[in-house]
Amino acid sequence: MSTEITLTRPDDWHLHLRDRAMLQAVLPETARHFARAIIMPNLVPPVVKGADAAAYRERILKAIPEGMDFDPLMTLYLTEDTDAADVAAAHASGLVKAVKLYPAGATTNSHSGVRDFDKVRPVLEKMAEIGLPLCVHGEVTDPAVDIFDREAVFIDRVLDPVRRATPGLRVVMEHITTANGVDYVKSNATDLGATITTHHLIINRNHILVGGIKPHYYCLPVAKREAHRLALRAAAASGDVRFFLGTDSAPHTDENKESACGCAGCFTATNTMSILAHVFEEENALGRLEAFTSLNGPTFYRLPANGSKITLRKRENAIEYPKKIISGEGPVTVFDPGFPLFWSVVA
């Protein structure tokens, strides 16, 4: 059994870095292992225009610790007022690598998102023309739809119609949580990929709710039943080029998570690579970890894979990692997979 693996340096194709004190605290946790990340635009206020993304990128670059290299790949937050020409210019300049669609009300800071998809038609058509990917938070917000069904219903009611109406639109289904998501991606040969988070490979809905409510396992889309988790693991470990890592590492302070109305998000940046090596070893797929973390994402985004490498080593004894990251806004709990980890990044 191999106890050391070397991979092309990974990228995170879905990451929340926030701003100010939180940005300062969480950025090193990602930059330590990852070369690039697709940066989510759901700040308050959101990153809507090219100029907003340019300013946010500068704030991120300033927060990178000495001696670390990190390239933030910026996104724009799609609103019903988004200007197609502004999007095209931000893409042409090389600044923006994707546009993010939040159905209004679906998740954290999504109230400026889209209610009426007809209003964003011109932007989607421009994106199809220029090859700019749309990253989709794929959940309907209809209060009549059960929260555990919202991804599957979104595929039928929104995603498939939008894709059919906009030929050539390149779409990433973000953080898929269901076998329905896996099957939909597999049934499309081109223009469709999906990110899978670290935590959705580990937890199902029982982990959140059985034996007491676990706010640090609550995220959106919420983890589903076990059969769905197994489908995600199979997709991630398959090597299929359409599936790649997007951690959705989403820091909230403990105060905001451990609350009567707790925020959605799991903070996994710190131990993601250790967890993924563990999962892929369990799946007898360590040889396909690199495809998931380092190769498939660049292929979808039409970017070169990173030139540098990282090495992970499996130790005899469980590794230690911080239980919390201390930010200027308060402590942030690091995702607890619920079992000991033995793999760590050593170089």
Nearer to Zn ion, 240 or 248 (CB): 248
Quote the CA–CA distance of 30 and 42 in Å, as a whole number: 18
The site string for Zn ion over 238-277 (x = CB under 5 A, - otherwise) reads: ----------x-----------------------------
DSSP 101: E
Q: How far is CA 149 from the centre of its chain?
A: 20
Q: Are strands 11-15 and 4-8 parallel, antiparallel or unpaired?
A: unpaired
The entry of Zn ion, ligand DOR, none that residue 220 binds, CB within 5 to 8 Å by partner kind? ligand DOR
Question: How far are the Cα atoms of 20, 60, 74, 215 from residue 63, in angstroms, in the given order?
Answer: 9, 5, 15, 29
Q: Which of 8, 30, 75, 107 binds ligand DOR (CB under 6 A)?
A: 107
Rounded to a whole number of angstroms, the minimum distance from the CB of residue 135 to ligand DOR is 11
The entry of Zn ion, ligand DOR, none that residue 265 binds, CB within 5 to 8 Å by partner kind? ligand DOR
Question: How far are the Cα atoms of 24, 87, 133, 264 from residue 168, in angstroms, in the given order?
Answer: 38, 17, 10, 32
Q: What's the residue count for the chain?
A: 347
Confirm or reject binding of residue 137 to ligand DOR (CB under 6 A). Answer: yes
Confirm or reject binding of residue 108 to ligand DOR (CB under 6 A). Answer: yes
Nearer to Zn ion, 10 or 251 (CB): 251
Backbone angles phi, psi at 299, to 5 degrees: -60, -45
* 69 catalytically annotated: no
Rounded to a whole number of angstroms, the minimum distance from the CB of residue 119 to ligand DOR is 21
Confirm or reject binding of residue 247 to ligand DOR (CB under 6 A). Answer: no
Residues annotated as catalytic (active site), given as ranges: 248
Chain positions contacting Zn ion, by CB under 5 A:
248
